[in-house]
């Protein structure tokens, strides 16, 4: 057996949206793939991998995942940050993929084996008005989802994250992908008072229509101050949310102390975090209920598993970030973690487009609201480099917000 890495290649492809993929090959010809997609900043990670990491991989033993992780993290000296951690994540995933293939086992078996039959997923509903929102919720339920995220347009706000139904500039209706192709970010608008007034009325209407049982979620997308977040959490208490996500930006972890002291609405946070240090106080002080980190932006399987084992001690559960900008490889990576940890909560799931599935073939199954990575050795995703070539990189930016007076606001 010759498990040494002999080749490290980086691909940037855009089947509906941009993805950065790392492919490692061992002397035996075993191939492992990893996701390094950082929405809107893809080329920075591609360069980090191509120009600084690829040559360090060649000659390393693919079996030593922990050592490789620590080497890339510590030897860079400049630790953490989304670019570095997405690059480390891609290496980490590719190494777990390789290990699974050598062992003939799916990655979750190597991480401790399955703790459940499948990972419960939530779907995404949104609407410009109540009628279209109700239709969207019914559609998601018919698709099999047992938990639904609800985003709504707000009178007085023209363009808002999470409200679907606009065609993207690619020409496809690609509902939940906020990044727009082009050389400049789209400007959106924001009004916190209008939002805080409107959202509780929408949840009241949804509860009246769908009853008390259906787990409902909402994403505040980093836009509120601690006091505003506390107000929203309190005003949503009668509607029994499963979680309120990103109620504050949370670069400042202390902000959550105030929110937590004011409301019993469950809190989920972490999709923009890239290090265990970004979230450790939120976990140990039990200021949140769900960890939203994604394998791709959080240093891969190795660090995600560690943070969840830590969170288990504090009864904090997983709610991993699963938008379409996490590629099928990154998604599979966190699904394997979700299968094995004791403290799995709920998995975000946005199915990828047909073009994306042409480039990344997945063994993943979605049935009756549950996701399962399947029994394929490794991560269960194959990368088709020839298909990828058909879809070259296209520049894309996430939007940004401005207030009525022109001030830039969190998007």
Which residues are catalytically annotated?
161, 221
Length of the chain, please? 411
Residue 299 interaction partner, one of Mg ion, ligand KDG, none, beta carbon < 5-8 Å per kind: none
Alpha helices, H only, 104-178: 107-110, 130-143
Cβ closer to ligand KDG: 73 or 145? Answer: 145
From residue 155, alpha-carbon distances to 196, 199, 381, 406, 410 in Å are 11, 10, 42, 19, 19
Report CA 404 to chain centroid distance, whole Å.
30
Cβ-based nearer residue to Mg ion, 219 or 278:
219
Binding mask 253-292 for ligand KDG (x = CB under 6 A): ------------------x---------------------
Choose from ligand KDG, Mg ion, none: what does 325 bind? Cβ within 5-8 Å by kind: ligand KDG
Coil, strand, or helix at residue 260? helix
| Closer residue to Mg ion in complex, CB, 217/359 | 217
Q: What is the CA radius of gyration of the chain?
A: 21
* Distance from C-alpha of 353 to C-alpha of 198, rounded to nearest angstrom: 32
Q: 375-404 mask for ligand KDG (x: CB under 6 A)?
A: -----------------------x------
Q: Which residues lie below 8 Å from residue 167, measured CB to CB, with a gap of 6+?
A: 173, 174
Min dist. Cβ of residue 411 to Mg ion (A): 11
Per CB under 6 A, the list member of 118, 266, 323, 330 interacting with ligand KDG is: 323
Going by C-alpha positions, the residue among 281, 279, 315, 313 that lies closest to residue 294 is 279
For ligand KDG, the closer CB: 35 or 325: 325
Cross-strand bridge partners of residue 33: 23
Contact set with Mg ion (CB under 5 A): 219, 271
Concatenating the DSSP letter of every residue in 281-302 gives HHHHTT--SEE---GGGTTHHH
User: Nearer Cβ to ligand KDG, position 95 or 247?
Assistant: 247
The nearest distance, CB 246 to Mg ion, in angstroms, is 5
Residue facing ligand KDG at closest CB distance: 39
Using rule CB under 6 A, residue 219 touches ligand KDG: yes
Sequential DSSP letters for 33-48 = EEE---TT-HHHHHHI
In the range 178-207, which residues lie near ligand KDG by CB under 6 A? 178
What residues make contact with ligand KDG under the rule CB under 6 A?
Answer: 39, 178, 219, 221, 271, 321, 323, 325, 348, 398
């Amino acid at each position: 057996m010759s498990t040494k890495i002999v080749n490290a290649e980086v691909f940037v492809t855009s089947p509906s949206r941009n993805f950065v993929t790392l492919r490692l090959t061992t002397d035996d010809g075993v191939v492992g793939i990893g996701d390094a997609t950082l929405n809107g900043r893809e080329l920075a990670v591609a360069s980090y991998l191509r120009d600084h990491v690829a040559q360090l991989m060649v000659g390393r033993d693919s079996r030593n995942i922990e050592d490789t992780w620590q080497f890339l993290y510590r030897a860079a000296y400049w630790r953490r940050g989304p670019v570095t951690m997405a690059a480390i994540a891609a290496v980490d995933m590719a190494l777990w993929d390789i290990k699974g293939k050598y062992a003939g086992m799916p990655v979750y078996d190597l991480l401790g084996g399955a703790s459940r039959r499948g990972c419960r997923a939530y779907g995404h509903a949104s609407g410009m008005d109540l009628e279209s929102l109700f239709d969207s919720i019914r559609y998601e339920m018919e698709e099999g989802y047992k938990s639904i995220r609800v985003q709504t347009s707000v009178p007085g706000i023209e363009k808002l994250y999470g409200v679907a139904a606009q065609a993207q500039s690619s020409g496809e209706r690609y509902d939940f992908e906020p990044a727009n192709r082009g050389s400049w970010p789209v400007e959106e608008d924001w009004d916190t008072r209008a939002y805080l007034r409107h959202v509780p009325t929408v949840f009241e209407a949804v509860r009246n229509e769908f009853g008390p049982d259906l787990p409902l979620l909402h994403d505040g997308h980093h836009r509120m101050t601690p006091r505003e977040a506390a107000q929203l959490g309190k005003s949503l208490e009668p509607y029994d949310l499963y979680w309120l996500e990103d109620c504050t930006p949370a670069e400042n972890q202390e902000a959550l102390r105030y929110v937590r002291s004011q409301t019993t609405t469950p809190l989920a946070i972490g999709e923009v975090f890239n290090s265990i240090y970004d979230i450790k106080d939120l976990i140990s002080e039990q200021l949140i209920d769900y960890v939203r980190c994604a394998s791709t932006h959080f240093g891969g399987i190795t660090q995600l598993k560690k943070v969840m084992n830590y969170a288990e001690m504090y009864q904090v559960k997983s709610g991993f970030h699963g938008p379409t900008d996490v590629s099928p490889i990154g998604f599979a990576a966190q699904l394997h973690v979700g299968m094995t940890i004791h403290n799995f909560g709920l998995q975000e799931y946005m199915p990828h487009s047909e073009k994306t599935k042409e480039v990344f073939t997945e063994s993943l199954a979605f049935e009756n609201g549950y996701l399962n990575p399947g029994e394929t050795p490794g991560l269960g995703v194959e990368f088709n480099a020839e298909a990828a070539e058909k879809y070259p990189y296209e520049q894309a930016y996430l939007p940004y917000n401005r207030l009525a007076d022109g001030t830039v606001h969190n998007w």
